[in-house]
Amino acid sequence: MTLPTAIQMCPFSDYLEQELAKRFTLIRWDEMDEAARQALLAQRDDRIGAVVTNGHVGCPDDLMTALPGLRIIAIHGVGFDKVNLPLAKERGVGVSTTPNVLNEDVADLAIGLVISLLREVAPADAYVRGGRWEQGDYPLGRKVTGRRFGIVGLGRIGMEIGHRLAAFGPVAYTGNTPKDVPYRFVPDALTLARESDVLILACPSNAQTFHLVDDAILDALGPQGYIVNIARGAVIDEAALIGAIDQRRIAGAALDVFEHEPHVPEALRASPHVLLTPHIASGTVETRRDMADMVLQNLDAVLAGDPPTHALV
């Protein structure tokens, strides 16, 4: 039996790649050079019915428009800012994500980053490993309990973060509208930063949130304030963040996402006031298996002639 053809944009787990190979003849976009990619675009191959990708790779507009037979862009993740949804809708292409299954893991990492940042877990670990403890005690960190926490974006993940943070101190949030939650609503991110000790970003990446965190918000957070980003890198103006950290206008930052990942600016990598993780918020064995299964559910639905199970458009 001839398998349908799909483009795989990036590497996935062994499990997902094996299951994809059972369903499709796969074209590996991530393994092609630019000349091969341009040749593929020029073919306008109507046999290619699916693109399988993740949130920070997405699907370029020129690839979408070069595939007349494209029926689904299946995203392994919840971020869809790298897929042009209006264009997909115009072309009748379904776009699916893997919602809800990663909420707990992302929230867990956010709390871990908050604690690790304020208590300086990573540099303290390096202090012990470097044999410096014998020369004297490690400098004091900052207390977590009792801090004022602000969440930018109280969606599913933001709700999970708020639930966990409430055990440590008062929680406030900002978003498009107030919600029926036991946390204080603040109408804008600037005011929220001014009234927070720790600002956690959990909002989507879109035109409204692009470089939302700028010099003004960082200055509002202040020299005793911390910022944690488990949303998308583009929500922070990285140049402004680097300046604020270098000038000690904020106390520190914990970042799981970056504007041009996997590239991380040297100034962030070199700073002792920044905690870095490589976009691992959903990176547990259990959740990645659940996400893979949801990708397959979406693809199987389209192969059967139905809309994706978890469709955005």
305: left (phi over 0), alpha (psi -120 to 50) or beta: left
* Spatial separation of the C-alpha atoms in residues 263 and 56, rounded to whole Å: 12
Alpha-helical (H) ranges within the chain are 14-23, 34-43, 61-65, 85-91, 103-118, 121-129, 156-165, 189-194, 215-221, 238-246, 266-270, 285-303
Amino acid (1-letter code) at residue 103: N
Residue of 232, 259, 288, 310 marked active site: 232
* Spatial separation of the C-alpha atoms in residues 259 and 237, rounded to whole Å: 8
* Spatial separation of the C-alpha atoms in residues 105 and 103, rounded to whole Å: 6
Give the tokens for residue 261.
Answer: 């990942």
Mapped onto helix, strand or coil, the DSSP state of residue 265 is coil
**Strand ranges of the sheet holding 72-76, from the earlier edge strand across to the other edge:** 25-28, 5-8, 48-54, 72-76, 94-96
Cβ-based neighbours of 46, under 8 Å, separated by 6 or more: 67, 68, 69
Give the tokens for residue 246.
Answer: 């270098």
Residue of 76, 279, 288, 310 marked active site: 279
Residue of 37, 163, 261, 273 marked active site: 261
261 is catalytic: yes
Which DSSP category does 100 fall into?
Answer: S
Cβ-contact 249, 220 below 8 angstroms: no
279 is catalytic: yes
Mapped onto helix, strand or coil, the DSSP state of residue 40 is helix
232 is catalytic: yes
Q: Looking at the annotation, which residues are catalytic?
A: 232, 261, 279
